Amino acid sequence: MWTDPTCPVARTVDLIGDRWSLLIVRDAMDGARSFTDFQQRTGIARNILADRLRKLTAHGLLAQVEAPSGKRRQYALTAAGQDLFAVIVTLRQWGERHAFEAGEPHSVLVDEHGAVVPPVVPTSPDGTPLSSGTTSVRK
């Protein structure tokens, strides 16, 4: 099924590598829970949203949970879904750096004190910043 079945990047892209899944996860992290909530935030077509919610649920990124007080069922991120946080953040930071013209306004990710989240950078165990030139894939 995969070109390279042992590559984690390929598997991840196979699960969330489309136009909408990551935006659904983004909005779930930002508090979206209901069908219409997702639909209005993303602007996705309703049938596609239904399909993506099904797939994300089937793959264990989302789960349908009972709402507290007799309300309708809602979608919530599972632990695996929450764990995409670092992916969303790096995507966001790349976009901030490269997808906007100079001076063009865009939203910014801040921590609970309002401080801008500094760039996420992969490092080796001793803290040395890494790049594609200083890393390799071991099979």
Partner DNA sequence: CAGAATGGTTTCATTACGCAACTCAGTGGA
Partner DNA sequence: TCCACTGAGTTGCGTAATGAAACCATTCTG
Q: Quick one: which segment of 5-13, 46-54, 84-92, 103-111 binds DNA (CB under 7 A)?
A: 46-54
**Binding residues among 80-139 for its own copies as defined by CB under 8 A:** 80, 82-100, 105-125, 128, 130-132, 134-139
Report if residue 76 touches its own copies, rule: CB under 8 A. no
Report if residue 19 touches its own copies, rule: CB under 8 A. yes
- How many angstroms from the chain centroid is the CA of residue 62? 12
Nearest to 83 by CA among 59, 50, 67: 59
Rounded to the nearest 10°, the torsion over CA 6, 10, 12, 15 is -110
Distance CA 35, CA 122 (A): 35
Nearest to 82 by CA among 67, 63, 98: 63
Q: Which CB atom, from 20 or from 28, has the smaller least distance to DNA?
A: 20
Q: Quick one: which segment of 16-24, 48-56, 66-74 binds its own copies (CB under 8 A)?
A: 16-24
Report if residue 65 touches DNA, rule: CB under 7 A. no
Using CB under 7 A, which of 24, 44, 61, 84 touches DNA? 44
Distance CA 45, CA 114 (A): 34
